């Protein structure tokens, strides 16, 4: 496996259909741009359709791209978007679960879930389950779920208070949501493995310079300009682990891609290890069961 992997190593994506959540900006847009350049047919699944259309225009006139409205903070929207895609797409080769929110003041989704857990994890859990039938028949299809180095920062799955109703810590809540993303990917791979057609792979961008940082605590925002040159990388570089997880022919289900530099903050995309607790199969299964109950979505595997 190449240690110096770049976007130049991505094979042609001609004939492949990629659905990317949060693709109008940041990591999602940079991922979409590279896949469009390699010939993929794209669906930009975004909350703001007008912003999605502007992003599609920026991809160039030769890109085969459509915009799909998707608000991951609403299960009704998730179900509507999945139904539209099931009615229009013959297949999906790549589902890239990228969209997310980070460090907001405590808010809830339309269904009453804490915003970070509801959007980052439950929204993507439901969206994946509702679209999986379009991936399962496709040899070499992949579900790529984007996590974060924050999955190991004050993070745990708080089954006694998943929605942070008793007290709210936005940093810990984000850590829980990104840990849930990883555990979902690992458990999904365990359920997909007997099929042999679709793989679940996870990735993280390191510390990428995107607008996701806008809700960071004041001290983080104050220090960011100082530490940015040492501990961050561009959004384009941050997208490379996602792209490798999605397109490297050598990638395997159950792997986790991220930058290979100090702390995983920046560097070249490689297979990396996640936190010890993220591999706890019993917690993964419990989270899966709870996620099915909360979303009402049952997967056609497992």
Q: Which residues are catalytic?
A: 174
CA–CA separation, 185 vs 211, rounded Å? 25
CA–CA separation, 248 vs 252, rounded Å? 9
CA–CA separation, 74 vs 108, rounded Å? 10
Distances in Å between the alpha carbon of 186 and those of 70, 182, 203? 24, 6, 12
Q: 197 by DSSP, 3-state: which? A: coil
Neighbours of 45 (CB within 10 A): 31
Distances in Å between the alpha carbon of 269 and those of 27, 87, 156, 247? 14, 35, 26, 12
CA-wise closest residue to 82 among 127, 44, 122: 127
Q: What six digits make up the tokens of 183?
A: 């555990």
In our burial notation (b when 16+ CB lie closer than 10 A, e otherwise), range 83-120 reads eebeeebeebbbbbbbbbbbbeeeeebebebbbbbbbb
Neighbours of 161 (CB within 10 A): 12
Q: What angle do CA 166, 164, 183 make, to 5 degrees?
A: 140
């Amino acid at each position: 496996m190449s240690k110096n992997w770049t976007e130049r190593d991505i094979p042609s994506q001609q004939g492949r259909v990629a659905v990317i959540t949060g693709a109008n900006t940041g990591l999602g847009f940079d991922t979409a741009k590279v896949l469009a350049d390699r010939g993929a047919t794209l669906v930009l699944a975004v909350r703001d359709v007008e912003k999605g259309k502007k992003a599609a225009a920026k991809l160039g006139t030769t890109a085969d791209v459509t915009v799909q409205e998707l608000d991951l903070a609403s299960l009704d929207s998730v179900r509507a978007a999945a139904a539209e895609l099931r009615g229009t797409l013959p297949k999906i080769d790549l589902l890239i679960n990228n969209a997310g929110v980070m460090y907001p003041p405590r808010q809830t989704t339309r269904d009453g879930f804490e915003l970070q857990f509801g959007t980052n994890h439950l929204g993507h859990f439901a969206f994946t389950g509702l679209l999986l039938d379009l991936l399962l028949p496709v040899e070499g299809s992949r579900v790529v779920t984007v996590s974060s180095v924050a999955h190991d920062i004050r993070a745990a799955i708080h089954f006694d208070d998943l929605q942070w109703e008793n007290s709210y810590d936005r940093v810990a809540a984000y850590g829980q949501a990104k840990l849930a993303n990883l555990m979902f990917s690992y458990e999904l791979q365990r359920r997909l493995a007997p099929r042999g057609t679709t793989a679940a792979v996870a990735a993280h961008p390191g510390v990428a310079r995107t607008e996701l940082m806008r809700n960071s605590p004041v001290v983080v925002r104050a220090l960011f300009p100082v530490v940015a040159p040492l501990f961050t990388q561009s959004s384009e570089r941050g997208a490379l682990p996602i792209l490798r997880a999605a397109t490297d022919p050598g990638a395997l289900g159950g792997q986790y891609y991220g930058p290979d530099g100090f702390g995983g903050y920046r560097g070249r995309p490689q297979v990396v290890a996640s936190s010890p607790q993220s591999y706890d199969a019993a917690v993964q299964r419990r989270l899966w069961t709870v996620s099915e109950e909360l979303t009402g979505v049952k997967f056609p595997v497992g």
